Structure 1
């Protein structure tokens, strides 16, 4: 979380009890940095030909061209109970209705951000245009990349179903997305990428996490995650359940617990450790939340690496020193792993 993150009022009765854990408050993680707004998009238009729906009935209701090779789509999602957007970057040789298929990269955003985050903060469109790849950046809201537990009742929002089933099927049935997929995410989006890869073996050839929490049940982490979501105006107990009381559901979504299921998937994860600014970071006070949060995430990342080493699961880790929980660090890490992501899904340079 950085000073540019949009702050939302707490809307839950018990927020003060969570705030009592002041250390957890300071070390809160899973928040993506937000920069200047995106360029004004053209008005959305209804598609002339009826797009093919997903198995759940999710459907594309509008498409807006926002760049030479970029479109925003509006998805009416039964899994979410509302309509949200996704941005799609299409390869140069893409044509509607073609019989060919293209490899796909999913780019997941962090908390208090949206589907435009990667496009606003990086040169992902330029990176993508160098390859014959489709890049999809779906809305993740503050959904924590999971189907919400809702005190054991289930129901909406089902963010995992939205991403892994609805968005996937809509891309495959309407934009020529193929079966070779990879995922990258920053902050909570990074945790989502690794969690999805473990919970859906074979879905992704490669998954990359940039400063994501990869050991959710470590000491202090449940409090951090709950406070983060409470600060977003949510009931955090509704997401994965109550820690300890609903530990089985927490474990079922925890990359550390799910690590054995990552065997066979290419894995990359990175984070800072020192709590000091890195190259390109703003000049902020030592107690800046973006610096302090990366200390906690760095320790968490080291714990996850030990788990992967113990299981003898191949992976690439870059646990660096200086670097804030913000885009300058994530741009460097994304640039480093981008060629590997492209190679893993057979995306050729053009």
Structure 2
């Protein structure tokens, strides 16, 4: 009897630690003519009726998928509870870069994210359906993607973040399948220049988009992030930028997401 009571107590404690729930939402993309999987993390307080929830879209990096964040940083389930938000982890393919490829019809992820996934989320779940209730962030390729999408669609997302983001991929003209998405840099320079985040600052309306980003000083993307920070300063665009010791790895992103979730919580509740 004592053993059984102890087991039940342990089981109840375990449930309380991971109180949030996880779904997989499959969305058919008309733009790409394929199904796309998305991990959905709902807070413990979520019910099918009642209050509407703010949503954080959390993007993976190159080579990853929609399960990366949940598998590598299981604490994101706890953050859904702490901040009482829904967290969405879309599958951005291994190397989509979250834009619409001009040469690959199966890689139309700007359209998917902005025109297909967001409406599907708002239809399926109790979400706040204005930009004041949406934020987007990601790591590496996903950091580029979050800024790219938010800069171009500030009517959808009110806050955006980037962690070790590839905010200027021009110094890496042969890496991460970018030539397969945009064509070679030598032959398609204008397309590369148009689609790299650091050249999209002119799209930002500083009054309509809250920005937070960071990068480790030992990261190969550090120089690009530093230059983006300086460019935003020159244009008097408000933003939070942090640099700290760290490399391009999950140890860094496990720590970084804590600060970004706090930033988004402030935005949702201001």
**Which range, TM-score by smaller chain?**
0.7 to 0.9
TM-score (norm 1): 0.66
Q: CA shift at 1:124, angstroms? A: 0.2
TM-score (norm 2): 0.84
Q: Corresponding residue for 1:110?
A: 61
Q: Corresponding residue for 1:16?
A: none
Q: Check if 1:93 corresponds to 2:37.
A: no
Distance between the aligned counterparts of 2:255 and 2:83, measured in 1?
19
Q: Deviations over 1:189-226 (max 9, x none)?
A: 01100111111123222111110111233xx23x2xx3
Distance between the aligned counterparts of 2:269 and 2:195, measured in 1?
29
Q: CA shift at 1:128, angstroms? A: 0.9
Tell me if structure 2 keeps the 8 A contact 1:109–1:140. Answer: yes
Q: What does 1:308-347 correspond to in 2, within 5 Å? A: 308-320=232-244, 322-346=245-269
Q: Check if 1:74 corresponds to 2:26.
A: yes
Structure 1: 5+ residue stretches without partners: 1-65, 230-235, 276-293
Greater relative CO, 1 or 2 (CA 8 Å, sep 6+): 1
Bigger share in helix: 2
Distance between the aligned counterparts of 1:113 and 1:256, measured in 2?
23
Q: Check if 1:156 corresponds to 2:98.
A: no
Tell me if structure 2 keeps the 8 A contact 1:116–1:137. Answer: yes
Q: Corresponding residue for 2:182?
A: 240
Q: Corresponding residue for 2:212?
A: 268
Q: Corresponding residue for 1:144?
A: 97
Q: Corresponding residue for 2:36?
A: 84
Structure 2: 5+ residue stretches without partners: 1-17
Q: Corresponding residue for 1:46?
A: none
Secondary structure, counterpart of 1:252 in structure 2: helix
Q: Corresponding residue for 1:166?
A: 116
Tell me if structure 1 keeps the 8 A contact 2:66–2:91. Answer: yes
Q: Corresponding residue for 1:279?
A: none
- Backbone CA RMSD of aligned residues: 2.0
Q: CA shift at 1:314, angstroms? A: 0.6
Distance between the aligned counterparts of 1:261 and 1:170, measured in 2?
26
Q: CA shift at 1:175, angstroms? A: 0.7
Aligned pairs, how many? Answer: 246
Superposed structure 1 runs of 4+ greater than 3 Å apart: none
Distance between the aligned counterparts of 2:21 and 2:181, measured in 1?
36
